[in-house]
Amino acid sequence: MTAGRFAPSPSGDLHVGNLRTAVLAWLHARRTDRAFLVRIEDLDRVKPGAEQRQLADLAALGLDWDGPVVRQSERARLYDAALASLAGRDLVYECFCTRREILDAPSAPHEPPGIYRGTCRNLSDSERSAQAAVRPAALRLRSGISDFTVQDELHGQYEGVVDDFVLRRGDGVVAYNLAVVIDDSHQGVDQVVRGEDLLPSAPRQAYLATLLGAEPPTYVHVPVAVNADGQRLAKRDGAVTYEQLQELGVDAMALIAESLGLAGSTMAELLDEYDPASLPRDPWVFVPPTG
């Protein structure tokens, strides 16, 4: 099976920008005769009831999905197996650095902030033991490269930094970059449509996929929704959720369709009109309506 997917974190209600990305992921998958999956990325930041409301909002817009909803919290066995496989090839090591220490470390010119410089890569056994007495270790990938290039349908070839990124955090929670690669590979997801703010993470994930013997997916990083100040849209920006828009009598689907230059009022109608080549390339400036 080949598939696209939408994979929200149940940290709260989806805002209209999230819903727009979900619509685009559905349209891209259906336009290319793929299945469409919904996965809940609930390894962290779970708000009670958020998953149910998110699924209800997707259904209210008319999105359907194939098969049951998958939750990352139910997939620990797959993540542990991947970590064991990488560790067996000496591609994992313990890291005791805090986030603050990493941010404060000297970096090379033009290097993005937060790039890991390999401080714990070659610790001796005694050094690891001493550090372990102070704080629990995260597990990092022992990367064999410094950059990797992916192909994106909207952005073309994109070359990004690949450092020794975290695979499992110090608190034992599997890191997003590992979980998403395992999930996509295991579920047959070969098309990833998501916000362009996640484009910098694609080279790391694609590289990890190759290490695990998986084919990296096709990437489509779409423009995100921003507020009037050009900042990423957030719930603090006003009436931005499906429920809030409904309460004001605003048709969320009509808003999303208009932002894509489409006139349809149902998912089926949008699919008939949708041409990926005509997708707007600029962020969608969303001004929340008032009552």
The distance of Cα 14 from the centroid of its chain, to the nearest Å, equals 14
Q: Are 27 and 212 in contact (CB under 8 A)?
A: no
Residue-wise burial string across 70-89, b where 16 or more C-beta atoms lie within 10 A, e elsewhere: bebeebeebbeebbeebeee
Strand 92-95 to 138-141 pairing = antiparallel
Q: Which residues contact 228 (CB under 8 A, 6 or more apart)?
A: 285, 287
Our answer to whether residue 47 is catalytic in this structure is no
* Those residues with Cβ within 8 angstroms of residue 132's Cβ, 6 or more apart along the chain or in another chain: 94, 96
Contact 179, 201 (CB under 8 A): no
Name 256's Cβ contacts closer than 8 Å, sequence gap at least 6.
16, 19, 20, 23, 61
Q: What are the φ/ψ torsions at residue 159 (nearest 5 degrees)? A: -105, 125
Of these residues, 235, 247, 251, 261, which one is catalytic?
Answer: 235
Residue numbers annotated as active site: 235
